[in-house]
Structure 1
């Protein structure tokens, strides 16, 4: 549900009118939109399932959660995906398609640059996996324009587990209301709010920037 202006300001006032010291962003659906069909079509060329089924099988398989929490390796994840999709190509071919799903959100990339120009430290907090992060680092220059990163596959837990937010607090050296956070999933926002973060659901770049303005961040 979209917060009205008064709701944002009332929430801000209840925290004592403190300005955050750092800005933390989710990655997917914030800086990078997804086109899963594009990747699935590529995988399907060497698999036994149509693209629609590949999306369903991969996104719902327990191995994806295991991979994104670091409990299995990239090689182990690949072997499981071959078993469930009938993929017969190489690991390089599979992961080329698996990661070829992103569309940069230029408004948010520009917003991050604006925040950094104003002296804010910015961070990424993401549920993701090793091969995806490696691909993004190679492919998108904006990804180097943050002060630090916390990834689920390195932490061993995923949002909204409190431990991953606490890992970010340790990395940034701040906690609670000192952090402004946006995430597209309400459950992840609620997890951050339980630790006192100034957290909001990312509905669109326009809305997130509007909230930042109302809070006096920009």
Structure 2
């Protein structure tokens, strides 16, 4: 578990906690993938395998490559499906392809419990995610935890992706964040480092080690 804070290399002692995490002022900025929900594009590849002309592992690589321009808003969902279908030799319906790509998630129950507890305590919760217009409607409709969040910044809407500093600048402005009072949680080190550079309290999350996350974050609650 890694902890990164703007201007700090290690957590302050309990007698000098920053205003960022003082009582009744908690603000959280959560990543989604492999934090709130685990994801696996391999699920989609295996689901599509009987309907494509290339091996599933090759299809996975093609779909993963095309997901980048989709997530930064350079191509539409229809264009993504058309391009991906052509590359992997998929002959089925666009709806089947879309549904196969959408349903690749599993809820991370421990972090959901943490989110629910923070919401009950009066915390402000926001989202910042590299995602796309296939996944957003699916996870927002299927996982009620997303109803607990007030603000959200999605890469395909902003046409910016983490770890680009510009998406952090945009997020801070749009959500009216005070960076030094905002705890940012992401699974990728490069995103946490970018968050730190933007002044956020940044904690790297390991999907397989929730207890270490709790040990770190509770130092700031």
Question: What TM-score does the superposition give when structure 2 sets the normalisation length?
Answer: 0.88
Number of aligned residue pairs: 209
Match of residue 66 from structure 1: 69
- Give the whole-Å Cα distance in 1 for the aligned partners of 2:110 and 2:146: 14
Quote the offset at 1:191 in angstroms. 0.4
Match of 1:11 in 2: 10
Gaps of 5+ in 2: none
State how 1:102-181 maps to structure 2 within 5 Å: 102-181=105-184
In the alignment, the residues of structure 1 paired with residue 164 and residue 17 of structure 2 have an alpha-carbon distance, to the nearest angstrom, of 26
Matching residue of 1:205: 210
Q: Does residue 88 of structure 1 match 2:87?
A: no
Distance in 1 (alpha carbons) for counterparts of 2:136 and 2:142: 10
Q: 1:47 is matched with which residue?
A: 52
Q: 2:199 aligns with which of 193, 196, 199?
A: 196
CA distance in 2, matches of 1:137, 1:196: 29
State the Cα distance separating 1:27 from its structure 2 match. Answer: 0.3
Higher relative contact order (CA 8 A, sep 6+): 2
For 2:211 and 2:149, how far apart are their aligned partners in 1? 21
SS in 1 for 2:126: strand
**How far off its partner does 1:3 sit?**
4.2
Contact 2:81 2:94 (8 Å CA) reproduced: yes
Matched, 1:34 2:34: no
Equivalent-residue separation in structure 2 for 1:39 and 1:52 (angstroms): 11
Coordinate RMSD, CA, aligned: 1.9
Give the Cα–Cα distance (whole angstroms) in 2 for the partners of residues 196 and 11 of structure 1.
15
SS state of the match for residue 11, structure 2? helix
Moved more, 15-24 or 138-147: 15-24
* 1:67-86 superposed Cα distances (whole Å, 9 cap, x missing partner): 10111111111111011111
The SS at the match of 1:119 is coil
Query: 1:78 matched to which residue of 2?
Result: 81
Q: TM-score, normalised by structure 1?
A: 0.89
Match of 1:24 in 2: 29
Name the SS of the counterpart of 2:106 in structure 1. strand
Distance in 1 between residues matched to 2:121 and 2:175, nearest whole Å: 17
- 1:175 deviates by 2.7
